[in-house]
A and B are shown apart, each in its own frame.
Chain A
């Protein structure tokens, strides 16, 4: 189970996730990411403050989003990452691909500033 809430602050969109980002829910995130990019978002903040769990299926969506936005000078950054997910990001090397901010407002500030 995963809940998604989207806040548009052009050209940044914050996608906040709650619950589990796994093989069953990653499709929902992928759809949301595509919708936001199509709507003109060039920078995505994925807020993990309330996300408990991520698996490789979820990580793959992160990579796909980055792959679309990078050539457009856009970015994908993460915020509020919890301890289990930090372990996952570190052990897969994802921490070197995605900037990680303590919370969503800091992330938005870093992109806009």
Chain B
């Protein structure tokens, strides 16, 4: 697209001069000239060619002078960049022209080199403002799309309120408060046949649109895999395998999935790295339900998930939540923590699902105050009333409901049994412990014929991350510990490091562009940059006050 220039001058030979001077640019399509001999003719030309970009105008002209022309252009709101040509030293006119919106000025006689510079500068200004207008338009389109996405997302989740109006044997409610327009958290509940209720709460890594898309995938997969007769653990194994089959840009999700047998009150829970649920009982209060944590979904394809089965008695309520509750922060950056959550739950043990959720939300809101919400918050409450009295209840079930504190029936070992070669070490915060670990890592990898280059890379990641955790992350921590787990399998090396330090996500580390030899350069950044470069995947998770960094490198 050529730059369209309208030159206004009463001297008749200007046109010939310009066409001669810029013949090359005109031929190449860089400039397109229009000419007028006074202000009135210029306005006519502008009506004929409304797409003129630059106006170059003389000041003294018959019929309508240049300053009046500028005034008219301003009044008629014609969008272009004007440059005035004035006699040397004519500051009064130049100032008036600038006040009327001229972008720049040129002195007579026109120096053509200067003319071209001015034109380039003007063009630059035009491009910038065009770009800004376009960006603005794109931005409003995105904002609009996000609003639509938010509506769609809300629509695919079941009602937060009375989702099963015909059912009197249980009452299930949820609340979802995203930080951004769309949420990475979600909840879901659905009937599996007539006597089973599937319910879940899920927290996808990250926030915003990517998380929301991943959330939609998770939700579809679980609805597809949750068939009658399939245990919760097998459902999550299937969902996990599907998630691992595709490369979803290093995303993962923690999930707590339960299946309630509405006739007996039995609930099979399967936890994929999620916060554990609470059971509320009017007489015995609030208790966390212990169960194997398993690994989050979307990290390792061949994981066996272990579940636990408990019995919920009529009148009891299950409470599920995402870390948006316990990690809600107030203005002093204090966390809400599970201790506060438990206190507030205890005050509300006798309430129904609806009142419980609203009460907890209010309590968290009161704690957070005016501080901005830091993470998506989702809560789910399932109040069990039991089978309707009209139905014949088998006597065995009555005995089952005899007020004994519910205890998990089976708790399999926390770590999934594995046949993968694994090196596991637990360390404190003393760097001297690393010497033994480095030797063990080398031996372990060499035993399994891992090539030297890869051994060095794993050593580097081990060193950089453990030094960071031990010398910074665990500083002042009451019981400092680090768990190091290195394993080989599925054609890759997996490294999982857990520690008891405060939250720190190295994947949020931004590459530093301060020169390496500058005094302003932070000492820690280099190691993390190196570490991230050595691995194909690095994912960070925080749960139950423990940092977990999961890293993988393909074995070529």
B460 touches A53 (CB 8 A): yes
Interface of B is mostly: helix
Contact among A23, A53, A63 for B516, CB-based, below 8 A: A63
Q: How far apart sit A63 and B526, CA to CA, in the bound complex (Å)?
A: 12
The reply on A57 being an interface residue by CB < 8 A is yes
- B107 at the A interface (CB under 8 A): no
- Asked if B526 and A22 make an inter-chain contact with CB atoms under 8 angstroms apart, the answer reads no
CA distance A63 to B459 in the complex (A): 22
Residue of B nearest to A56 (CB): B527
B530 at the interface (CB under 8 A from A): yes
Q: Which of A6-14, A91-99, A104-112 contacts B (4 or more CB under 8 A)?
A: A91-99
- The size of the chain A interface, using a CB distance under 8 A, is 23
Question: A88 touches which one: B431, B438, B452, B530 (CB < 8 A)?
Answer: B530
Asked if A56 and B435 make an inter-chain contact with CB atoms under 8 angstroms apart, the answer reads no
Q: In chain B between 518 and 545, which residues have their CB closer than 8 angstroms to a CB of chain A?
A: 523, 526-527, 529-530, 533
Residue A83 at the chain B interface, CB threshold 8 Å: yes
Query: Is B467 on the interface with A (CB-CB < 8 A)?
Result: yes
Check if B463 sits within 8 Å of A55, measured CB to CB.
yes
Q: Does A66 contact B (CB under 8 A)?
A: yes
A66's partner among B517, B527, B529, B530 (CB-CB below 8 A) is B517
The answer, yes or no, to whether A52 is at the interface (CB within 8 Å) is yes
Residues 473-499 of B at the A interface (beta carbon under 8 Å)? none
Q: Which of B435, B438, B467, B516 contacts A57 (CB 8 A)?
A: B467
Query: How many Å lie between the Cα of A59 and that of B525 in the bound state?
Result: 12
Report, as a range, how many residues of chain B touch the other chain. Answer: 20 to 34
User: Given that A66-B517, A91-B530, A93-B516 are contacting pairs, would A52 and B456 also be in contact in the complex, using a CB cutoff of 8 Å?
Assistant: yes
Are B456 and A24 in contact (CB-based, < 8 A)?
A: no
Residues of chain A lying within 8 A (CB to CB) of residue B526: 56, 59-60, 92
Asked whether, in the complex, the Cβ of A23 is within 8 Å of the Cβ of B453, the reply is no
A23 touches B460 (CB 8 A): no
Beta-carbon contacts under 8 Å, A56-98 to B: 56-57, 59-60, 63, 66-67, 70, 83-84, 88, 91-94, 97
A residues in contact with B523, CB < 8 Å: 60
Q: How far apart sit A53 and B533, CA to CA, in the bound complex (Å)?
A: 16
Report if B351 contacts A (CB, 8 A): no
- Residue numbers in A under 8 Å from B516 (CB-CB): 63, 92-94, 97
The residue of chain B having its C-beta at the shortest distance from the C-beta of A96 within the complex is B516
Say yes or no: B517 contacts A23, CB within 8 Å. Answer: no
A23 contact from B434, B457, B530, Cβ within 8 A? B434
Contacts of A53 in B (CB 8 A): 456, 459-460
User: What residue in chain A is nearest B524 (Cβ atoms)?
Assistant: A56
Tell me, yes or no, whether B342 is within 8 Å of chain A by CB: no
Give A30 Cβ to nearest chain B Cβ, in Å.
14
Contacts of A20 in B (CB 8 A): 438
Enumerate chain B interface residues (CB-CB to A < 8 A). 431-432, 434-435, 438, 452-453, 456-457, 459-460, 463-464, 467, 516-517, 523, 526-527, 529-530, 533
A-B CB contact pairs (8 Å), 24 listed: A20-B438, A22-B459, A23-B434, A23-B463, A24-B434, A24-B435, A53-B459, A55-B459, A55-B463, A55-B527, A56-B526, A56-B530, A57-B463, A59-B526, A60-B523, A63-B516, A70-B517, A83-B453, A84-B453, A88-B460, A88-B530, A93-B516, A94-B516, A97-B517
The 7 A-B residue pairs with the shortest CB-CB distance in the complex, in nearest-first order: A56-B527, A84-B456, A56-B526, A55-B463, A23-B467, A91-B533, A53-B456
